[in-house]
Amino acid sequence: MTDTPVLVDLSEGVLTLTLNRPERLNAFVPALHEALAAAFLRAEREAPIRAVLVTGAGRGFCAGQDLQERKHVPGEGPRDLGAGLDRYYNPLIRRIRALEKPVVAAVNGVAAGAGMSLALACDIVLAARSASFIQAFSRIGLVPDAGSTWFLPRLAGSARALGLALTGEALPAEQAAAWGLIWKCVADDALMTEARALAQRLAQGPTKGLGLIKRALNRSAHNDLDTQLDLERDTQREAGRSEDYREGVAAFLEKRPPRFRGI
Binding-site ranges for ligand LHQ (CB under 6 A): 24-25, 27, 63-68, 81, 84-85, 89, 110, 112-114, 134, 136-137, 139-140, 142, 145
Least distance from ligand LHQ to the Cβ atom of residue 170, Å: 7
| Cα three-residue angle 203-216-197, rounded to 5 degrees | 20
Least distance from ligand LHQ to the Cβ atom of residue 83, Å: 9
Q: How many other CB atoms are there within 10 angstroms of residue 152's CB atom?
A: 24
Closer Cβ to ligand LHQ, 130 or 228, answer by number: 130
Q: Where are the alpha helices (DSSP H) in the chain?
A: 30-45, 81-84, 90-98, 114-121, 148-156, 158-167, 173-178, 191-203, 207-220, 225-240, 243-253
Closer Cβ to ligand LHQ, 21 or 196, answer by number: 21
Closer Cβ to ligand LHQ, 48 or 82, answer by number: 82
Closer Cβ to ligand LHQ, 67 or 263, answer by number: 67
Please state, in angstroms and as integers, the Cα–Cα distance from residue 101 to each residue in 9, 165, 206, following that order. 17, 30, 10
Q: At what angle do helices 148-156 and 114-121 cross, to 10 degrees?
A: 60
Least distance from ligand LHQ to the Cβ atom of residue 42, Å: 24
Least distance from ligand LHQ to the Cβ atom of residue 116, Å: 8
